[in-house]
Chains A and B, each alone.
Chain A
Amino acid sequence: MEQRYSRQILFSPIGTEGQRKLRQTHLLIIGAGALGTSIAEMFTRAGAGKITIADRDYVEWSNLQRQQLYTEEDAQNRTPKAIALKEKLEAINRDVRIEAHVTDVTPRILEEFVGGVDLMLDATDNFDIRMVMNDISQKHSIPWIYGAVVGSYGISYTIIPGETPCLHCMMEQIPLGGLTCDTAGIISPIVQLVTAHQAAEGLKILTGNRDALREKLISFDLWSNQYSSIDVQRLKNDSCSSCGASPSYPFLDYENQTRTAVLCGRDTVQIRPSSKHKPDLKRTAEDLSPLGEVEQNPFLLSFSTDANRLVLFQDGRVLVHGTSDVSEARSLYHRYFG
């Protein structure tokens, strides 16, 4: 172990004591796309104790340009990202316990995941779930690190409950559409710049170096060469319903509100049924095979017609590809899955 981490231990702010502390920690990474794979790899190599990863999606060819560790085979097999990532991370460092969940993260599920967690890292692609993370962070007093990217632009902020403003203080309300569906595309270097900042802040928290935290909201555009670092402490709002004096954690009601989500830049709608009933993939495959092309792996079933492709996961979620129209997606869902 000493040899594996020797260069990190030589870095004096971490040292033997910081490395020992890191080994005791449990991180929760929400999202296993561009940000998530990069963050997960860094903390696996660094020697965290346990990493829990949750992601609802599977690997596609369009991911390979920037989502590190995934391979052509993963895209070919449509392997769920959490599963593919776990496999790669375990090959990198078998000492780190990796727990992978193929799931849509709801407030209820996040409540289950945060037991014993020291830090949450944001690698999601939408504000609905970030606001849920933000409320859970405040409710359970767990720091989290916001990170996001689009095009050549990235942003990050470290949220410490009881100390810094929370995301709700800074944003006040979730922006209505437009922001997450990145028609602007994305280049890989901005991902690495954002995750470098997230992971550095994470290392400071987990190795007992909170004094070194940045305390600034940073953003950068690697194409237009703009860099900004601003002090947002003044935005901390005592009447904030997430982190103020009398918090009500409004975004934890999300479970009763959102059943569909348009996925970032993918011409895809996700439908999450309210029923907790798990589908029988094998039987569904038999039912659908006369109607179109059906492919199956242990985690999901893919059903293609001339116009659309629907993917059914073990937890009952369905991704409807080929549309961004929620009502059309619902109609296709009900046509084929009842």
Chain B
Amino acid sequence: MELLVNGTMMHLSDNIKTVSDVIDYFTADRPAVVVEHNGNILTKESHSTVNIKDGDKIELVNFVGGG
């Protein structure tokens, strides 16, 4: 499956079905994340229920703490 993640086209395994799977794939060690899916901001509760399909556009924003 091809996804546009943070502006870069990426090839991901077809095992990745939901937004939660995408988050786990890219940010395993960073649980604090905001996700925009095809232009829509998602609440945390919907991460595991929103399915993704070929060509979707995902923005992942990690909250980091350094300063």
Hey, which bits of chain A sit against chain B, CB under 8 A?
31, 33-36, 122-127, 130, 147-150, 153-155, 170-172, 175-176, 178-180, 182, 186, 217, 219, 224, 226-228, 230-235, 264-265
Collect the chain B residues with CB atoms within 8 Å of residue A182's CB: 66
Selected A-B contacts with CB under 8 Å, 14 pairs = A31-B67, A148-B67, A154-B64, A155-B63, A171-B32, A172-B44, A179-B64, A180-B65, A219-B61, A219-B62, A226-B8, A228-B6, A230-B36, A264-B65
Q: Looking at B8, B36, B63, B66, which has the most chain A CB atoms within 10 Å of its CB?
A: B66
Collect the chain A residues with CB atoms within 8 Å of residue B9's CB: none
Collect the chain B residues with CB atoms within 8 Å of residue A147's CB: 67
Q: How many residues of B contact A (CB 8 A)?
A: 20
Instruction: Please pick, from A149, A175, A224, A235, the residue contacting B32 in the complex, using a CB distance under 8 A.
Output: A175
Shortest CB-to-CB span from A287 to chain B, Å, is 35
Hey, which bits of chain B sit against chain A, CB under 8 A?
6-8, 29-32, 34, 36, 41, 43-44, 59, 61-67
Collect the chain B residues with CB atoms within 8 Å of residue A149's CB: 64, 66-67
- Asked if A178 and B66 make an inter-chain contact with CB atoms under 8 angstroms apart, the answer reads no
Secondary structure dominating the interface of A: mixed
> Known: A172-B44, A230-B59. Is A235-B34 also a contact (CB below 8 A)?
yes
Instruction: Please pick, from A122, A226, A234, A235, the residue contacting B67 in the complex, using a CB distance under 8 A.
Output: A122
- Asked if A179 and B7 make an inter-chain contact with CB atoms under 8 angstroms apart, the answer reads no
> Known: A175-B31, A217-B34, A234-B43. Is A228-B61 also a contact (CB below 8 A)?
yes
Shortest CB-to-CB span from B62 to chain A, Å, is 7
- Asked if B62 and A33 make an inter-chain contact with CB atoms under 8 angstroms apart, the answer reads no
* Chain A residue nearest in CB terms to B61: A219
In the complex, A120 Cα to B62 Cα: how many Å? 22
Instruction: Please pick, from A124, A179, A186, A235, the residue contacting B41 in the complex, using a CB distance under 8 A.
Output: A235
Shortest CB-to-CB span from A257 to chain B, Å, is 17
Shortest CB-to-CB span from A278 to chain B, Å, is 28
Collect the chain A residues with CB atoms within 8 Å of residue B29's CB: 178
Q: Looking at A155, A176, A227, which has the most chain B CB atoms within 10 Å of its CB?
A: A155
